[in-house]
Structure 1
Amino acid sequence: MSEATHGATIELENLSKRYPGNPSPAVDNVNMEIKAGELVIFVGPSGCGKSTTLKMINRLIEPTGGRIRINGEDVTDIDPVKLRRKVGYAIQSAGLFPHMTVAQNIALVPKMIGWPKARIRSRVEELLDLVGLDPVEFRARYPRQLSGGQQQRVGVARALAADPPVLLMDEPFGAVDPITRDHLQDELIRLQHELHKTIVFVTHDFDEAIKLGDRIAVLRERSHIAQFDTPEAILTNPADDFVSGFVGAGAALKRLNLTRVRDVEITDYPTVTLDDPLQEIFNRLRGSGTNEILLLDKRRRPYKWLRRGDLMRARGSLARAGTLVNDTVTRDATLRDALEAVLTDNAGRVAVTGRRGEYEGVVDVETLMNSVHELMEADRLEALEARHELEELRAAQTHAEQEGPGGVTKA
């Protein structure tokens, strides 16, 4: 992979937007500093101005007042078209051009800014591989030939094509099904580990914000900042009732979104492939000490869970034997994702896969439940400590009141 451009700082200074005929501003005097390489989430109720604020960063919407600086450069005075070519932008439903192939969609901005053909071709291959799509299989397809999740991956690849330091994402995963959405979120986390871009991401889903964000800006009406902090700080110390409303019940369980599968024990599991003879599969299962075995396809992706009874009924063929693997998680998935997958599958385990879907191991329900108990115990101890501190403070105040001025104890 070629040397990538890392993130840039973003500063919003007194940023405002007023629309003609509206007495109140849509965005009112927003001040914010986003660090280079940080993934910041804007979350808030519908109509609060979060998307408007995002679009002012690349001037898809022109600010009425205030300044925007990217790496110290004031972008409110430069050509907006040139600015947009330096800032990646990904939206809901990908926004791909239907008459262009996947490769042509990704190549759009590099072509506009005059990259040589060989460099563009190499960049398209690199990006398809980066977002987990086989270049040979996908580069010549049209958007209509892709699933929703695949389209969204291409949309992210297109936004990254000219290697911008900043990536803006406006509810990019809002139009896909929940399982695909989880996998796209994991993919974004993995990409950010590799690329270190500055990403500003708009969502109305607080769980998504917790999962993805280095910091979260909880926005009120007109993009007033209610709280701008780390996910853990917002979960444990919401600034006010408005922020508490976003956190909702079950803060300890929400903290499962802060812990990744890579942080817990991933165990190996007996596996076989479609190319293995049936007798060898049977022998492997019998010698494994488990009641089931994981069948991998020709690309070593989880395909079916096979139990002893399945093999007895197979009669020389695995076509109808076993249970299809409906869900997997990556190492970047959260423990909440893994727990949901385990409970949905109802079998006490979920397969962990790599960037191309290849098998890497298994996480079981016991490991996940131990993590849940640890989080809940940590929350209990934290609450107990806070209560003790409050009692000590009250005791000190009572003592001070009893002593009175000059340290003289009152009669």
Structure 2
Amino acid sequence: MELENLTKRYPGSPDPAVDSVNMEINAGELVVFVGPSGCGKSTTLKMINRLIEPTGGRIRIGGEDVTHMDPVKLRRKIGYAIQASGLFPHMTVAQNIALVPRMVGWPKARITSRVEEMLDLVGLDPGEFHGRYPRQLSGGQQQRVGVARALAADPPVLLMDEPFGAVDPITRDHLQDELIRLQHELHKTIVFVTHDFDEAIKLGDRIAVLRERSHIAQFDTPEAILTNPADDFVSGFVGAGAALKRLNLSRVRDVEITDYPTVTVDDPLQEIFNRLRSSGTNEILLLDRRGRPYKWLRRGDLMRAKGSLARAGTLVHDTVTRDATLRDALEAVLIDNAGRVVVTGRRGEYTGVVDMETLMNSVHELLEADRLDAMEHQHELEETRAEQTHHEQEGTAGAGGEAKA
């Protein structure tokens, strides 16, 4: 995708809302626009699918200039997900997802199959959610359906305008992880707008930090922006604790995930007790009938169970997926008194555990890498300055010799 001198002027305003944006976005890349409120990031996004008509400039997608094509046809080729999902309340989940495929003339059988495929893709059971209405869904479930609808017609480009901004922090983390997983599977070209720099670091292959009128302050990888911000404006977005922010660049799948002794709610109490005794640990993880983490059980809990696990143990309150960042995992571990967090799969099933020691080792490795990078950068600066001083001295000596001659 190419944006060439993309500009938007509104009548009566002396300055453009968006001023000559030039940008190239690679196929399969997730690019995040981040900047202060009112800087023009959402306006720039909406010009790509012509929800807002550009005043000037060009938009090319796959080499094709789409600036003057029928905007309705253009939008059917571009997925669009917004804050609070934007689902039609009078339509079922299935009808919402089927909307664009039906408009572009897909046969009914293909649409039905695609709806089930999309629900499964975003981690919702087709049998359970197919006939529900948006009001019967949680905020997180609505956002998942919104993403499924945006992807239903298999568009090459997906635009996302602060899609997770209206949900609670825990749900937001899980939705971000889901988007990362989806992108690994689908390799769409995604342009994502947010005002949250931590979200930008977590999601973006590259980040465009925008000033007023969508002027690009820096357009680079998260690592480059964290370690070498272009100026004070970008540094203000990075803020304090850049090394800790880098925890958003590493995933749970990048560290050691250990197995843990588990039992299920259908196992007899004596078998659970025997499993705990033979495990060599002080606790065991109880899974529900779908293999999802349910409770942590300690020896004392089993002694007091008296034939029933209904009131025994401690509920598992927080989990992370393999696509969660190390920062997410560290926060979950710090909240948990026992210093570990359960890792789950796409349907919430148990896959392993990450503990505090593993995470702290990773933090120390990141800090050491940052320290070495800083030393190398400082060394390069000193060499550059020394070289400049040497050239200046040679120039002064040469000028002196010419003057003397």
Asked if these proteins are the same fold (TM beyond 0.5), I'd say: yes
Q: 1:246 aligns with which of 213, 237, 248?
A: 237
Equivalence for 2:366: 375
Q: 1:304 aligns with which of 291, 295, 298?
A: 295
Equivalence for 2:264: 273
Q: 1:93 aligns with which of 59, 66, 84?
A: 84
1:273-293 residue CA offsets vs partner (Å, 9 max, x unmatched): 001011111111111111111
Q: 1:57, 1:399 → 2: CA distance?
A: 50
Letter in structure 1 aligned against 2:251: R
Equivalence for 1:232: 223
Are the structure 2 counterparts of residues 384 and 134 from structure 1 closer, same or farther at C-alpha, using a change threshold of 3 Å? Answer: same
Alignment of 1:121-160 (within 5 A): 121-160=112-151
Letter in structure 1 aligned against 2:82: I
Letter in structure 2 aligned against 1:288: S
Equivalence for 2:197: 206
Equivalence for 1:335: 326
Answer yes or no: is 1:360 the counterpart of 2:351: yes
Equivalence for 1:405: 397
1:14-43 residue CA offsets vs partner (Å, 9 max, x unmatched): 100011111111001000010000000000
Q: 1:172, 1:325 → 2: CA distance?
A: 28
Answer yes or no: is 1:35 the counterpart of 2:26: yes
Q: 2:372, 2:218 → 1: CA distance?
A: 25
Q: 1:408, 1:298 → 2: CA distance?
A: 88
Aligned-residue Cα RMSD (Å) equals 1.5
Q: CA deviation at 1:317?
A: 0.7
Are the structure 2 counterparts of residues 68 and 390 from structure 1 closer, same or farther at C-alpha, using a change threshold of 3 Å? Answer: closer
Aligned to 2:348, what secondary structure does the other structure show? coil
Aligned to 1:305, what secondary structure does the other structure show? strand
Q: 1:391, 1:182 → 2: CA distance?
A: 42
Aligned to 1:76, what secondary structure does the other structure show? coil
Q: 2:49 aligns with which of 44, 55, 58?
A: 58
Q: CA deviation at 1:396?
A: 4.5
1:192-220 residue CA offsets vs partner (Å, 9 max, x unmatched): 00001000000000000000000000000
Q: CA deviation at 1:407?
A: 12
Equivalence for 1:46: 37
Q: 1:384, 1:281 → 2: CA distance?
A: 54
Identity, % of aligned positions: 89
1:304-362 residue CA offsets vs partner (Å, 9 max, x unmatched): 11111111111111111111111111111110010011111232111111111111000
1:156-183 residue CA offsets vs partner (Å, 9 max, x unmatched): 0000010000000000000001111000
Long gaps (5+) in structure 2:
none
Q: 1:314, 1:332 → 2: CA distance?
A: 36
Equivalence for 2:178: 187
Q: 1:204, 1:401 → 2: CA distance?
A: 45
Answer yes or no: is 1:316 the counterpart of 2:320: no
Q: CA deviation at 1:395?
A: 4.3
Answer yes or no: is 1:15 the counterpart of 2:15: no
Aligned to 1:60, what secondary structure does the other structure show? coil
1:22-72 residue CA offsets vs partner (Å, 9 max, x unmatched): 111100100001000000000000000000000000000000111111101
Q: 2:22, 2:391 → 1: CA distance?
A: 41
Q: CA deviation at 1:400?
A: 5.4
Equivalence for 1:388: 379
1:133-160 residue CA offsets vs partner (Å, 9 max, x unmatched): 0000100111111110000000000000
Q: 2:60, 2:388 → 1: CA distance?
A: 47
TM-score w.r.t. length of structure 2: 0.96
